[in-house]
Amino acid sequence: MHCADLGHLVFLPRGDTALTRRSREESGLSVVVVRFNRRKSRYERQGVLVEEAALARAEARCLADAEARRRRRARDARHRTAQDERFAAAFAAEILRLLPGCPADRARAIAAHASARGSGRVGRSAAGRALSEGAVISAVVAAVRHVDTPYDQLLMSGVSRYEARRRIAPAVESVLLAWQDIGTDVG
Do you know the residue count of the chain?
Answer: 187
How far is Cα 93 from Cα 76, in angstroms, rounded to an integer?
Answer: 26
Which letter does DSSP use for residue 45 in this model?
E
Give the H or E element holding residue 155.
Answer: helix 151-156
So what's the pLDDT on residue 128? 84
What residue ranges of the chain have pLDDT lower than 70?
1-5, 182-187
Could you tell me if 46 and 33 are in contact, meaning their C-beta atoms sit under 8 angstroms apart?
yes
- Give me the helix-helix angle, 133-147 and 104-114, nearest 10°: 100
147, with CB counted inside 10 A (0-12, 13-18, 19+), is middle
Which residue type occupies 112? A
- Give me the helix-helix angle, 66-98 and 104-114, nearest 10°: 130
Domain positions in the chain are: 9-64, 80-180
Question: Going by C-beta distance under 8 Å and a sequence separation of 6 or more, which residues neighbour residue 14?
Answer: 20, 45, 46, 47, 48
How far is Cα 168 from Cα 183, in angstroms, rounded to an integer?
Answer: 25
How far is Cα 21 from Cα 38, in angstroms, rounded to an integer?
Answer: 28
pLDDT in tens, 84-107: 999 999 999 999 999 999 999 999
CB atoms within 10 A of CB 133: 11
